[in-house]
Amino acid sequence: MKHGKPVVLLHTDLPDAARSIVVSHHPDLTIATCESYDGLSAALAESGADVVYSVRFGGGPGFPRAALVESPKVRWVSVGGSGCDHLMPWKPEHVTVTNAAGVAADMMAEYVLGTALAFSLDLKGFARAQAERRWIDGRVTPIGGRTLLVLGLGKTGQAAAMRAKAMGMSVLGVRARPQPTPNFDEVHGLDALSRLWPRADFILVCVPLLPSTRGLVDAAAFGAMKTGAVLIDVSRGGVCDEAALIEALRTGRLKGAALDVFAQEPLPQESPLWAMENVILTPHCSSVYDGWAEKSVKMFCENLKRYRSGEALTNVVDPVRGY
């Protein structure tokens, strides 16, 4: 069904830049903006928007999901990032949700490779020695020949696998519906995880947060991992059990962890993770790079062309599968 002239609301902390891009692609549309969580309901009512481009710019807590997915007027919500757990649940017969999957896949894959190399090259250890002006008997370790286990074979997981193979790594993958996938030596279902943990030198977590993935990487998983493995988490807080992770880091079961997501964000000051020398801690920014917002809005504009002409939208998210 064609939607000739929808009313569009841009829910973002960069409204002027987003509006400029949308106007350049769709100059005939009425475009409203909102740059707060608290003001979204009023902005929707005032504008009468049936299409919303929305960025989770203020984090998850307090996000006005009901205003979007339970609105009697809104028919399509285009999420500016990839994760949509902050909108769950929604009824797909009432509102369509799409995401910008792939907008940051290459950047996140570089984050994954960079943090893996940081541990294999012991960059933190060398930085400490440098700060103390100590000349040490240094040693570096290649990642070629090591094994990467990827949980979640979306665009980020696939981009990371491509780079890992280029570095000479073996790559194992886990996805809900296993099938042969480029750059993966093996692809398994979730039921194979207990057999895969001991094989991995690096574990990349990039699955969406769903009831089926909450707590997926738990104490039993850490106990089954190879001693000295490294965990890299760019998924969502809640997929990894933080208490079990901290214990695995303290006991040396894990060599280290690169963490970009946390159960509570910002990470509380009292969290032990802040002070752990075997942790690389980043503030949920592995997908944030110069130009990502512009690229995301342009993806929305392309989808908006399809919406207006009655074509099938790309990146439609299934609320059950989470992608």
Choose, from 265, 294, 306, 308, the residue flagged as catalytic. Answer: 265
**Six token digits for residue 264:** 């509570």
Residues 6 or more apart whose Cβ sits within 8 Å of residue 82: 99, 100, 101, 102, 103, 104, 154, 155, 156, 287
What tokens appear for 265 in the block? 């964000």
Q: How far is CA 195 from the centre of its chain?
A: 25
**Rg over CA atoms, the chain:** 21
d(CA 263, CA 211): 14
CA atoms within 13 A on the CB side of 85: 18
3-state secondary structure of 25: helix
For the chain, the residue count is 323
Is position 242 annotated as part of the catalytic site? no
CB within 8 Å of 27: residues ≥ 6 apart: none
**Which two structure tokens, joined as six digits, stand for 141?**
């370790």
What b/e string do you get for 132-149 counting C-beta neighbours within 10 Å, with b at 16 or more? eeeeeeeeeeebeebbbb
Which member of 35, 236, 242, 253 is catalytic?
Answer: 236
Cα of first residue to Cα of last residue in the chain, in angstroms, is 23
* 188 noted as active-site residue: no
d(C-alpha 21, C-alpha 294), whole Å: 8
Burial of 309 (0-12, 13-18, 19+ CB in 10 A): exposed
- Which residue in the list 56, 146, 175, 284 is annotated as catalytic? 284
Known active-site residue 163? no
Q: Which are the catalytic amino acids?
A: 236, 265, 284
